Amino acid sequence: MPVRVGSTRVSIATALTVGAVAVALFSTGCPPRSAAPDAARATANDGAPAVVLAPPAGPEVRVRIEIARTDDERRRGLMYRRHLEPGTGMLFIFERPEPQKFWMKNTFIPLDMIFIDEQRRVIAIEENAEPLTLDPRGPDTPALYVLEVPGGWSRTAKIAPGTKVELVNLRAD
Protein backbone atom coordinates (compact mmCIF):
# COMPACT_ATOMS: atom_id res chain seq x y z
CA MET A 1 0.00 0.00 0.00
CA PRO A 2 1.63 3.29 -1.06
CA VAL A 3 1.87 6.25 1.29
CA ARG A 4 2.36 9.89 0.42
CA VAL A 5 5.71 11.44 1.49
CA GLY A 6 5.65 15.08 0.55
CA SER A 7 4.45 15.09 -3.04
CA THR A 8 5.79 11.59 -3.80
CA ARG A 9 4.04 8.25 -3.39
CA VAL A 10 6.24 5.44 -2.04
CA SER A 11 5.57 1.99 -0.65
CA ILE A 12 5.60 1.43 3.10
CA ALA A 13 8.54 -0.97 2.67
CA THR A 14 10.57 1.71 0.88
CA ALA A 15 9.73 4.31 3.52
CA LEU A 16 10.73 1.90 6.32
CA THR A 17 14.00 1.00 4.54
CA VAL A 18 14.92 4.65 4.05
CA GLY A 19 14.08 5.38 7.68
CA ALA A 20 16.19 2.45 8.92
CA VAL A 21 19.17 3.58 6.83
CA ALA A 22 18.85 7.13 8.17
CA VAL A 23 18.74 5.89 11.78
CA ALA A 24 21.79 3.69 11.16
CA LEU A 25 23.76 6.54 9.64
CA PHE A 26 22.99 9.01 12.42
CA SER A 27 23.58 6.56 15.26
CA THR A 28 27.08 5.45 14.19
CA GLY A 29 28.85 8.05 16.28
CA CYS A 30 29.59 10.49 13.48
CA PRO A 31 31.16 13.56 15.07
CA PRO A 32 28.97 16.66 15.14
CA ARG A 33 29.79 19.46 12.76
CA SER A 34 32.03 22.08 14.36
CA ALA A 35 30.40 25.29 15.48
CA ALA A 36 33.74 27.11 15.22
CA PRO A 37 33.87 30.04 12.79
CA ASP A 38 36.60 28.24 10.85
CA ALA A 39 35.50 25.21 8.94
CA ALA A 40 39.11 24.05 9.21
CA ARG A 41 39.80 22.01 12.33
CA ALA A 42 43.22 20.88 13.51
CA THR A 43 42.26 17.22 13.35
CA ALA A 44 41.31 17.27 9.66
CA ASN A 45 43.95 16.46 7.06
CA ASP A 46 42.81 16.54 3.46
CA GLY A 47 46.34 16.63 2.02
CA ALA A 48 46.33 20.39 1.40
CA PRO A 49 49.21 22.51 2.73
CA ALA A 50 48.34 23.85 6.16
CA VAL A 51 49.67 25.44 9.31
CA VAL A 52 48.46 23.99 12.60
CA LEU A 53 48.74 26.33 15.58
CA ALA A 54 48.48 25.15 19.21
CA PRO A 55 47.72 28.25 21.30
CA PRO A 56 48.32 28.01 25.05
CA ALA A 57 44.76 29.15 25.86
CA GLY A 58 42.67 27.37 23.25
CA PRO A 59 42.27 24.38 20.95
CA GLU A 60 44.54 23.69 17.98
CA VAL A 61 43.48 25.42 14.78
CA ARG A 62 44.36 24.63 11.19
CA VAL A 63 44.89 27.26 8.50
CA ARG A 64 44.76 26.09 4.89
CA ILE A 65 47.53 27.99 3.13
CA GLU A 66 48.91 29.24 -0.10
CA ILE A 67 52.71 29.31 -0.04
CA ALA A 68 55.00 32.21 -1.01
CA ARG A 69 58.56 30.84 -1.39
CA THR A 70 60.10 32.92 -4.16
CA ASP A 71 60.93 36.63 -4.12
CA ASP A 72 58.17 37.30 -6.66
CA GLU A 73 55.59 35.31 -4.68
CA ARG A 74 56.58 37.03 -1.45
CA ARG A 75 56.53 40.47 -3.10
CA ARG A 76 52.98 39.96 -4.41
CA GLY A 77 51.66 38.21 -1.30
CA LEU A 78 47.94 38.85 -0.85
CA MET A 79 47.89 42.07 -2.88
CA TYR A 80 44.73 42.81 -4.86
CA ARG A 81 42.60 40.33 -2.89
CA ARG A 82 39.13 41.53 -1.94
CA HIS A 83 38.35 38.65 0.42
CA LEU A 84 40.11 35.95 2.44
CA GLU A 85 38.05 33.13 3.95
CA PRO A 86 38.38 32.40 7.68
CA GLY A 87 40.69 29.44 8.21
CA THR A 88 42.80 30.32 5.15
CA GLY A 89 45.94 32.35 4.65
CA MET A 90 49.35 32.64 3.05
CA LEU A 91 52.61 31.34 4.49
CA PHE A 92 55.73 33.27 3.54
CA ILE A 93 58.85 31.09 3.77
CA PHE A 94 62.28 32.73 3.89
CA GLU A 95 65.75 31.27 3.30
CA ARG A 96 67.07 32.22 6.74
CA PRO A 97 65.76 33.82 9.92
CA GLU A 98 65.90 37.62 9.77
CA PRO A 99 63.73 40.48 11.02
CA GLN A 100 60.89 40.56 8.47
CA LYS A 101 59.01 43.77 7.68
CA PHE A 102 55.72 43.73 5.76
CA TRP A 103 53.57 46.47 4.29
CA MET A 104 50.00 46.57 2.98
CA LYS A 105 50.61 48.12 -0.43
CA ASN A 106 47.73 47.22 -2.78
CA THR A 107 46.22 44.97 -0.11
CA PHE A 108 42.51 45.72 0.19
CA ILE A 109 41.67 43.69 3.31
CA PRO A 110 42.94 43.93 6.90
CA LEU A 111 45.31 41.11 7.80
CA ASP A 112 46.89 39.61 10.88
CA MET A 113 50.58 38.90 10.36
CA ILE A 114 51.90 36.07 12.51
CA PHE A 115 55.70 35.97 12.75
CA ILE A 116 57.20 32.53 13.41
CA ASP A 117 60.79 31.63 14.31
CA GLU A 118 62.90 28.67 13.19
CA GLN A 119 61.78 26.66 16.25
CA ARG A 120 58.26 27.06 14.87
CA ARG A 121 56.91 29.25 17.64
CA VAL A 122 54.97 32.46 17.23
CA ILE A 123 57.21 35.38 18.19
CA ALA A 124 54.94 38.32 17.32
CA ILE A 125 51.58 39.23 15.81
CA GLU A 126 50.61 42.37 13.94
CA GLU A 127 46.82 42.45 14.29
CA ASN A 128 44.44 44.01 11.79
CA ALA A 129 47.09 45.67 9.65
CA GLU A 130 45.53 48.65 7.93
CA PRO A 131 44.96 48.10 4.20
CA LEU A 132 46.65 50.19 1.51
CA THR A 133 49.47 51.51 3.72
CA LEU A 134 53.22 51.46 3.32
CA ASP A 135 54.11 51.40 7.02
CA PRO A 136 56.64 48.62 7.70
CA ARG A 137 55.28 46.09 10.19
CA GLY A 138 57.05 43.34 12.04
CA PRO A 139 59.24 42.63 15.04
CA ASP A 140 62.97 43.17 15.23
CA THR A 141 63.27 39.50 16.23
CA PRO A 142 64.33 37.13 13.41
CA ALA A 143 61.50 35.16 11.77
CA LEU A 144 61.76 32.33 9.26
CA TYR A 145 58.04 32.29 8.43
CA VAL A 146 55.20 34.80 8.34
CA LEU A 147 51.59 33.64 8.22
CA GLU A 148 48.99 36.13 6.96
CA VAL A 149 45.37 35.47 7.88
CA PRO A 150 42.17 37.55 7.85
CA GLY A 151 42.28 40.51 10.24
CA GLY A 152 41.03 39.61 13.71
CA TRP A 153 41.47 35.86 13.22
CA SER A 154 44.46 35.61 15.60
CA ARG A 155 42.51 37.04 18.53
CA THR A 156 39.48 34.83 17.83
CA ALA A 157 41.72 31.73 17.65
CA LYS A 158 43.61 32.83 20.81
CA ILE A 159 46.98 32.86 19.01
CA ALA A 160 49.69 34.50 21.12
CA PRO A 161 53.48 34.66 21.26
CA GLY A 162 54.75 31.24 22.26
CA THR A 163 52.07 29.37 20.28
CA LYS A 164 53.53 26.17 18.79
CA VAL A 165 53.33 25.84 15.01
CA GLU A 166 53.32 22.74 12.81
CA LEU A 167 53.70 22.90 9.02
CA VAL A 168 51.66 20.18 7.28
CA ASN A 169 51.85 18.84 3.73
CA LEU A 170 54.50 21.29 2.51
CA ARG A 171 56.61 20.03 -0.35
CA ALA A 172 60.34 19.93 0.29
CA ASP A 173 61.56 22.40 -2.36
pLDDT one digit per residue (tens) for the chain, 173 residues = 444 444 444 454 444 443 443 333 333 333 333 333 344 444 457 899 999 999 999 999 999 999 999 999 999 999 999 999 999 999 999 999 999 999 999 999 999 999 999 999 999 999 999 999 999 999 999 999 999 999 999 999 999 999 999 999 998 75
DSSP assigned state of 82: S
93 and 140 share a domain? Answer: yes
* Residue 173 confidence (pLDDT): 57
Which amino acid, one-letter code, is at 21? V
6 and 64 share a domain? Answer: no
* Residue 96 confidence (pLDDT): 98
Q: Is residue 44 part of a domain?
A: no
94 touches 143 (CB < 8 A): yes
24 and 61 share a domain? Answer: no
> How many CB atoms sit inside 10 A of residue 65's CB?
22
Which amino acid, one-letter code, is at 41? R
Give which of 49, 15, 54, 36 is closest to 163, Cα–Cα. Answer: 54
Number of domains in the chain: 2
65 and 138 share a domain? Answer: yes
5 and 58 share a domain? Answer: no
> Can you give the residue range of the structural domain that contains 9?
1-30
